[in-house]
Amino acid sequence: MEPSNKSPSARPPTIAWIGEADGHLELLDQRSLPERVEILRLDTVEGVWSAIQTLAVRGAPAIGCAAAYGMVIAARRADSMPKLKAAAEYLKSSRPTAVNLMWAVDRVMSTIKEPGTPAVIRALEESRRIHAEDAAMCDAIGRHGAPLIHAGDGILTHCNAGRLATGGSGTALAIVYEARRRGVPFKVYADETRPLLQGARLTAWELMDAGIDATLICDSMAAMLMAQKKIRLVIVGADRIAANGDTANKIGTYSLAIAAAAHGVTFAVAAPSSTFDLSLADGSGIPIEERDPAEITAGFGRVTAPPGVKVFNPAFDLTPARLIHSIVTERGIITPVNTQTVRATLNSQ
């Protein structure tokens, strides 16, 4: 199983392992986007740790793939199992809340019983499998979701749920890329996504890089575009989805869902089945992380708020299932969205 060829761009991939067991990891350095396209060449565990920790690579699936390849480097260097286990724990500490990171590192570790060249080869095989499975998952989401896009559509997306966040073509944007592959004409509006501007820095970049008609807006402009009938479909990713379909995603998603409902605009979520947390009956149990006030008060090189001002900076918000037209997964499309249809789709295959 090889990583998908359906990359939306022939230009630098988000994540690539170059060579064989003695090779190295290359990452498209997302800290330099959108101003410069720079490739990080990594052949130390410390380098991979730092790349994850400083957001050179971000997005749960992409972090998982990068960390898996990091374990190949760790296996190559470790001369004992305790040392390899220490390296695994070290890699996991780069983003302590990233579940995919833990899962990918553990999965590679489980293939290794003792250090040595065979272990390195097995680690690389497992990492490539993780990467290829991720790309296949993206492509499946793209295939299931593509019919949501009609010729002439205006499509709005939020944050970055694209190829820069995964080992493949993305989640929300996989649908966009697949519709384009099928020759459907459309245009995309990208919310800049305050406070960290992933939409402006990453989504606008990757859409332009893929030759897609993209227009950047501030988050607060989406409702006006809907009133002007310039948006027919909203597609966003998800950070966590409860059993009934309530969805936690980047702050601002809920506001879009309300505006979409008020204008009869279709609101869709795209996410792998691993995003569902079936232990939660609904979204009320999803914890909402609050982040550093400086992201809002001094985010881009300048202080733009009074010193000492109180700030509310939630990373996510919760969109209730009743506002969601469909959830697109690699196992199929869930619509309407409720506990029964979620269960039915996740249990399929």
Instruction: Report the catalytic residues.
Output: 239
**Least distance in angstroms from the C-beta of 216 to a copy of itself:** 5
HSE-up of residue 108 (Cα within 13 Å, Cβ side):
38
Nearer to a copy of itself (CB atom), residue 104 or residue 204:
204
Nearest distance in Å: CB 251, a copy of itself: 6
Q: What is the CA radius of gyration of the chain?
A: 20
Structure tokens, 148: 């949501």
* Residue 154 exposed, middle or buried by CB count within 10 Å (0-12, 13-18, 19+): buried
Distance CA 253, CA 149 (A): 19
- CB nearer to a copy of itself: give 79 or 302: 302
Contact 296, 302 (CB under 8 A): no
* Eight-class DSSP state of 199: I
CB of 63 to a copy of itself, least distance (A): 23
What DSSP string runs through 241-290?
A: EETT--EEEETTHHHHHHHHHHHT-EEEEE--GGGEETT-SSGGG----B
Tell me the Ramachandran region of residue 215: left when phi exceeds 0, alpha when psi lies from -120 to 50, beta otherwise.
Answer: beta
Q: How far is the CB of 125 from a copy of itself (least distance, A)?
A: 36
Pairing of strands 233-236, 153-157: parallel
Of 69 and 205, the one with the shorter C-beta distance to a copy of itself is 205
19 versus 306: smaller Cβ distance to a copy of itself? 306
Residues that bind a copy of itself (CB under 8 A): 33-35, 189, 191-195, 197, 200-201, 204-205, 208, 213-225, 227, 251-252, 254-255, 258-259, 261-262, 296-297, 299-314, 317-318
Nearer Cβ to a copy of itself, position 65 or 223?
223
Nearest to 177 by CA among 140, 229, 123: 140
Least CB distance to a copy of itself at residue 188 (A): 10
